[in-house]
Amino acid sequence: MWYRIPARLVKSSLDPQWREAPMSTVRERLKPHLLPQFCKGCGRCIESCTRHCISAGTEINAATGLIPVNLDLEQCNGCGLCISACPEPYGLRAEPGKDFVLEDPKALFGARRAASEVAPSIPDELLPLPAVEPLVVKGNYASAIGALIAGCRHFYGYPITPSTEGAELMAKLLPKLRGVFMQAVSETATVNMMYGCGGAGMKAMTFTSSPGFSLMLEGISYMIGAELPGVFVNVMRGGPGLGNIAPEQADIKLACRGLGHGNTQAVVLAPSTPQEMLDLTILAFDLSFRYRNPVVILSDGYLGQMTGTVRLPGTAVKPGLPSWAVSGDRAHRGNLICSFLLSEADLEAHNIHLNSKYAAMKAAEQRADLFETDDAEVLLVACNTPGRMAKGAVRELRARGIKAGLFRPISLWPFPIDALRPLLLRAHRIVVVEASNGQLEDEMRLAISHDSVPRPPAIASVRRFGGVLPQQKEIVDRVLEGVGAALVEGVRV
């Protein structure tokens, strides 16, 4: 894609015309021209002129309030030095001819190459995936394989336990698919590489764990602002601080309420089996491009490391290229990826636009798994690995004749209130089971509160921390011990 340069004055070592021109050739040399309203009077041109044709101005330009330089071109030999000293694109120009107005830049610069007005949007293609036996893999591997099936060929990341296996598998597999595995200098760099790759319209992802996710939040805010897709798999570990490498669920607050600064939301998915690690990763890419917004998968240290059976879908994705991408080609040249809107009115309008996307996600992307909830009087609420413990507890409680059921949110944001609402009519009691200090409960309470549920059931909890997960027995005990005692926070020893 080389273009001939119509440069008459611009000296270029690359312009063969210029290079080959014999020294004696007399070239047409144009004198400079200046529309005073585009001159800021910096005076760089004054010292550049060897013939002293330009002098500092004395009169304030009424349009700009600045003092443009004066040109007296009698002595001008058309050397062009003043033009290359002028920092303004529409400042000093080689005289294009008589009597032009800048309203038509073509008169000044000639016709330009047009980028296409609206780039075409090339949709994803679904290709049949050969049928294979279920895989027996770790949750982290399942997610990585899900990403490959979803058409992701760009991975950026920084190693952090207990998420690293995902990155390691990508490092092994992506080169075989001519994809890109990039180990970044930090999580901060990682998220910004995803910003660039997502901005180019490609499917990018990372694996990280809680401390790394904290570092990525700034970039996620930028991605949301610039409306970029990208999938973040956060295999949550114990915190705060360096915490430990055991499972926790203490990033729910970050993912649902704190994706960096500003008005940010993203779909947050919480798998509870290796199978869901794969399924929800595939879904995450789809949602991420559908809404032009990052998607967060909150897994936990147990699930990331857990080996289980994983069935593959019937199709794999061959990605297209969205029209908004900045992909470095002519069709997309007119595009801008940006979260910066200096005018208050523009930024408010942008936020209103984002709000409408969030509303659309709330309406369409609520997901939950219900187990024995139809007649449940005690409703356990849990996600991730604690969701499995809670399911075990439901079985045990049912065997003891207690009408227990499990409400397992799969989307933590938006919280699946539509599925929860009807269950609240029958349930006397909710027991939220989680490996965090009530972060899941807070999401549920907010959803119930916004939904104006009349007389919601009493809410009790089983909460463990620091990598200790709630076990089936303590869940059963908590349900059995009754509402009063259960409201006391913390852990029974």
Partner 1 sequence: MSVFYDRFERHDHGTGLKGRSTHYCAGCGHGLAHKYLAEAIEELGVQDRTVAVSPVGCSVFLYYYFDVGNTQAAHGRAPAVAIGHKTANPDSIVISYQGDGDLASIGLAEIVSTAQMGIPITVVFINNAIYGMTGGQLAPTTLMGQRTSTTPEGRTAFFGPPIRMAELIAGLDGPVYVERVALYDAKQRVRAKKAITKALRLQVENRGFAFVEVLAECPTHLGMNPSEAEKWVKEAMTAVFPLGVKKDVEPPTDQVRPVGPEFDPVRLVEVFEGSTEKAPRFCAAFPTLWGTEDIALKFAGAGGDGAQTAALLVARAGINEGFDATHIPSYGPESRGGTSYADVHIARTEVLSPASPSPHLLVAFNAPSLARFGPTVEGGGTIVYDSSVIADVPSLPAGVTAIGVPMTQIASALGRLLVKNVVALGALQAATSIFPEESFLTAIRQALKSRCAMIPLNEEAFARGRQAVRSHEGSVQAN
* Nearer of residues 194 and 424 to partner 1, judged by Cβ: 194
Q: How far is the CB of 185 from partner 1 (least distance, A)?
A: 4
Comparison of 219 and 271: residue with beta carbon closer to partner 1: 219
Spell out where 179-287 has E strands.
180-183, 204-208, 230-236, 267-269
DSSP labels for 425-485? TT-SEEEEEESSSSHHHHHHHHHHHHTT-SSPPEEEEEE--TTPPPPHHHHHHHHHH-HHH
Of 177 and 360, nearer to partner 1 (C-beta) is: 177
**Closest distance to partner 1 from the beta carbon of 131 (Å):** 7
* Residue 149 C-beta: closest distance to partner 1, Å: 7
Q: Is-contact 273 303, C-beta < 8 A?
A: yes
CB of 104 to partner 1, least distance (A): 9
CB distance 413 to 368 below 8 Å: no
Q: Which is nearer to partner 1, 153 or 429 (CB)?
A: 153
* Closest to partner 1 by CB, 178 or 455: 178
Q: Cis ω on the peptide bond leading into residue 211 (within 30° of 0)?
A: no
Task: Check if the beta carbon of residue 433 is closer than 8 Å to that of residue 470.
Answer: yes
Contact predicate 310/134, CB 8 Å: yes
Minimum separation from the CB atom of position 254 to partner 1 (A): 18
Cβ count near 189 (within 10 Å):
18
Q: How far is the CB of 421 from partner 1 (least distance, A)?
A: 26
Task: Please tell me whether residue 403 adopts helix, strand or coil conformation.
Answer: coil
Tokens of 328: 């470095």
In the complex, least distance from residue 283 CB atom to partner 1, rounded to whole angstroms:
18
Q: Which is nearer to partner 1, 177 or 487 (CB)?
A: 177
Torsional sign, CA 402, 403, 408, 414 = negative
Q: Which residues contact 340 (CB under 8 A, 6 or more apart)?
A: 225
User: β-strands 294-300, 315-318: how paired?
Assistant: unpaired
Q: How far is CA 175 from CA 142, 146, 153, in A?
A: 18, 17, 9
> If you ran DSSP here, which 8-state letter would residue 401 be given?
T
For residue 111, the minimal CB distance to partner 1 (Å) is: 8
- Residue 112 or 455: the one with the smaller Cβ distance to partner 1 is 112
Residue type, 118: V
- For partner 1, the closer CB: 258 or 313: 313
- Of residues 251, 200, 187, the one with CA closest to residue 226: 200
Helix (H) or strand (E) holding 138: strand 135-138
- Verify cis geometry, omega within 30 degrees of 0, for the bond prior to 414: yes
Q: How far apart are CB 362 and partner 1 at their closest, in Å?
A: 27
Which residue in this structure is represented by tokens 């690293």? 164
- SS3 assignment, position 394: helix
Q: Which is nearer to partner 1, 337 or 427 (CB)?
A: 337
Specify the residue, 313 or 456, whose C-beta has the smaller distance to partner 1. Answer: 313
* Minimum separation from the CB atom of position 76 to partner 1 (A): 15
- Asked whether 319 and 268 are in contact (CB, 8 A), the reply is no
Nearest approach in angstroms of CB 445 to partner 1 is 26
| Nearer to partner 1 among residue 304 and residue 414 (C-beta) | 304
Integer Cα distance of 485 and 187 in angstroms:
43
d(CA 447, CA 428): 18
